Copies of this chain bind each other. A is one copy, B any other.
Amino acid sequence: MPLFRITVRRGRTPAQLRALADAIHEVAVRSFNVPEKDRFQIIEQREAHELFYDPDYMGVKRTDEIVFLQISAGKVRTTETKLNFYRDLAKSLEEQCGLAPDNLFVVINTSGAEDWSFGRGRAQMYQPSNPTLAAGE
């Protein structure tokens, strides 16, 4: 929580993929209120004929370096937090991985604290005594 799905065109080396995943997690910790040890990431590599993207929709220049980041989040976060996270993510991935900021596509989906189990058949984030707090911050 959250769970990150990172989808890219096949072509990066395992080391490059790890650097990308490392950088994403670092920003998540810094700007998305994710605990340091709360790291769960699935990388998905697609062939050329398995990935379609518009090269300039919204005035952004996309290439085959494109990174799709789908985030299943489990905390309600403010719009301000999200906007700051996008900015930090684009900046950091450029600095650390050489990713053009235009090549970063992000979508966040949020579900409740009771919708997550981190193992042992328990919903660790859910606190019945204060469900609002558990679902929120």
Which residues on A are within 8 Å of B, measured CB to CB?
A: 1, 3, 7, 14, 17-18, 21, 25, 35, 37-46, 49-54, 56-58, 60, 62, 68, 70, 72, 74, 79, 82-83, 86-91, 101-111, 114-124, 126, 128, 131
A104→B86 contact, CB < 8 A: no
Contact among B17, B40, B57 with A105 in the assembled complex (CB-CB below 8 Å)? B40
Q: Which residues of chain B are within 8 angstroms of A7 by Cβ–Cβ distance? A: 42
Copies per assembly: 3
Contact among B3, B35, B89, B124 with A121 in the assembled complex (CB-CB below 8 Å)? B89
Instruction: Indicate whether A105 sits within 8 Å of B82 (C-beta atoms), given known contacts A42-B7, A54-B40.
Output: no
Instruction: Indicate whether A41 sits within 8 Å of B49 (C-beta atoms), given known contacts A1-B107, A57-B118, A86-B121.
Output: no
Contact among B37, B39, B91, B111 with A109 in the assembled complex (CB-CB below 8 Å)? B111
Top 7 closest A-B pairs, CB basis?
A90-B121, A60-B119, A14-B49, A43-B50, A108-B115, A106-B117, A41-B52
Instruction: Indicate whether A39 sits within 8 Å of B53 (C-beta atoms), given known contacts A60-B120, A107-B111.
Output: yes
A86 to chain B, nearest CB (A): 4
